[in-house]
């Protein structure tokens, strides 16, 4: 006959799992930070220079301004004026260069626009088959 595990054994197992999950999340966070880089919001090309882009800096591939709200860490569609920084002045054109003092270039994992997204392609294919196009 097999004996049921005691509460103490169950807590030891859960504690070990929690430790493993924490270690895994720390390593995953480290890998994600390593993969996250600064990219152009339009074409996805990487900004490799150190520091923040200036007001007149533009993407070397597509030519759009880089110091824009769409590239900022504080940009959030759900926040007032689409900015989480409450002290920042409202900016009307989010894709135009601005003089915001609180600009911080967002680090993201970005797939370039020319790369094929298999999930998106399969969804489009299913929609075409469903609609008979």
DSSP for residue 126: H
Distance (Å) of CA 128 to CA 113, 115, 116, 117, 132: 22, 21, 17, 17, 6
What is residue 55's predicted lDDT score, i.e. its pLDDT?
85
pLDDT at 5: 45
pLDDT classification of 78: cutoffs 50, 70, 90: very high
Q: How do residues 9-48 score in pLDDT, each as one tens digit?
A: 444 544 554 445 555 566 666 666 666 788 888 888 888 8
């Amino acid at each position: 006959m097999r004996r049921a595990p005691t509460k103490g054994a169950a807590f030891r197992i859960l504690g070990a799992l929690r430790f493993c999950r924490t270690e895994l999340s720390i390593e995953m966070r480290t890998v994600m930070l390593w993969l996250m880089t600064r990219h152009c919001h339009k074409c996805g090309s990487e900004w490799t220079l150190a520091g923040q882009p200036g007001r007149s800096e533009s993407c070397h591939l597509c030519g759009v301004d880089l110091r824009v709200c769409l590239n900022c860490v504080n940009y959030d569609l759900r926040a007032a004026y689409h900015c989480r920084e409450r002290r920042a002045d409202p900016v009307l054109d989010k894709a135009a260069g601005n003089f915001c003092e609180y600009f911080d270039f967002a680090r993201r994992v970005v797939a370039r626009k020319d790369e094929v997204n298999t999930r998106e392609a399969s969804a489009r294919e299913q929609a075409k088959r469903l609609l008979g196009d």
